[in-house]
Amino acid sequence: MQRVIRSLFQGQQTGLILVIVLLGAILTGFAGSHTDRLTGREVNNFLNVHTLMQTATDASFFAIMAVGATMVIISGGVDLSVGSTYALAGVTMAMTLRVLGEIGMTQTVALGAVICIGIGLLCGLLNGVMVVGLGVHPFIITLGMMWVLRGIAFVASKAESILVPDALTGVMKANLGLSAALYPVPMLLMLAVTAVGALYLAKMVMGRHIYAVGGNVEASRYSGLRIGRILIGVYTLSGLTAGIAAFAGTSYYGSASCADATGYELYVIASAVVGGASLSGGKGNAINAMLGALLIVLIRQSIRTLHLDQNYEWIIIGCAIIIAVVLDRVSAQFTLKRLTGGDK
């Protein structure tokens, strides 16, 4: 029994869940309450279904991107262009649908999804091809693409905010039989993408190859793995999730602009790293990335609830990334020490 309890509390996901629950308890205690106009009951400002749903919605857009970015990090790379891919995909979709005008609800939703996903796949594929073909560090490639893609979105949209058809907002804000003010679709999409990503990494052969490449690229090459194809694949998947997030976010908020998702790179990488992904490669998973995104959102929520300066958000998230990386390094050194018998 003692061994079971010890292994339970040493699990990465269990630790994240405990931190999320603890932070949620703190928010519940400090949030205060208000009187519900319909029922007349006292309702906690944080621990109520509307705030919890909005918290999940806020996390969903960059949690979806964090699933793809985690695969890149597992392979030993990094993708700084996800926010710009999001912006370009959203702007392209909005501009195309504006030109086409009324084409029917089903066609509008289908075309919007195809455009966003297509742009995301194309941007991810370009990243992967350049990383593999040019032999330049992915940090440099994706940093350059971050500026290029957002610049294209800026030029194409002329810095305008472009409205999307009501059909898209209606789908993304469907209440699915719940209260009129509850919109669970983004959260459900986040859970679906996370589940698919987790299954891909854990059960699919290509998913295991990603871990192999990130763990030891030379050993993977000698084992006959096609390193270039695997790396192109993970950047393409990162672009795919950015496209999905762009479709969901742009549809939910009802407009697209070249400034959308500015700074999302920080949140996405923070979600993956806080979720346990190792920047040296070979470690991480999709579920932890989603939990990391929820934790980041709760940190932001805490700053607002405690009435702290909004600028502290960047300081706290930056510290969280540093702490996560340091803990990962300490854990790796401890594991190596145990394997080599250094603790005897």
Residue 85 maps to a domain: yes
Amino acid at 126: L
The pLDDT tens digits for 45-77 are 888 888 888 889 999 998 999 999 999 999 999
Least confident range of 4-8, 34-38, 94-98, 240-244 = 4-8
Range of the domain at 178: 55-328
Average pLDDT, the chain: 87
Band of the pLDDT at 12, cuts 50, 70, 90? low
Q: Is the pLDDT of residue 10 over 50?
A: no
What distance lies between CA 101 and its chain's CA centroid?
A: 32
Query: How is 242-306 classified by DSSP, letter by letter?
Result: HHHHHHHHHHHHTEE-TTTTTTHHHHHHHHHHHTT--TTSS---HHHHHHHHHHHHHHHHHHHHT
Residue 212 maps to a domain: yes
Q: For the residues 313-340, what does the mean pLDDT come to?
A: 74
Query: How is 73-127 classified by DSSP, letter by letter?
Result: HHTT-----HHHHHHHHHHHHHHHHHHH----HHHHHHHHHHHHHHHHHHHHHHH
As beta bridge partners, residue 33 has: 44
Residue with tokens 């869940």: 17
- The number of distinct structural domains making up the chain is 1
Q: Please count the other Cβ atoms lying within 10 Å of the Cβ belonging to residue 83.
A: 26
Residue 48 maps to a domain: no
Q: Is the pLDDT of residue 341 over 70?
A: no
Q: For the residues 256-260, what does the mean pLDDT come to?
A: 94
Residue 190 maps to a domain: yes
Residue 33 maps to a domain: no
Determine contact, residues 282/211, Cβ cutoff 8 Å.
yes
CATH number of the domain enclosing 181: 1.10.3470
Ramachandran angles phi, psi of 77, nearest 5°? -110, -165
Q: Is the pLDDT of residue 280 over 50?
A: yes
Residue 217 maps to a domain: yes
Helix H or strand E encompassing 43: strand 42-44
Residue 1 maps to a domain: no
Ramachandran angles phi, psi of 270, nearest 5°? -60, -40
Burial of 242 (0-12, 13-18, 19+ CB in 10 A): buried
The pLDDT tens digits for 77-128 are 999 999 999 999 999 999 999 999 888 889 999 999 999 999 999 999 999 9
Residue 146 maps to a domain: yes
In whole angstroms, how large is the CA radius of gyration of the chain?
A: 21
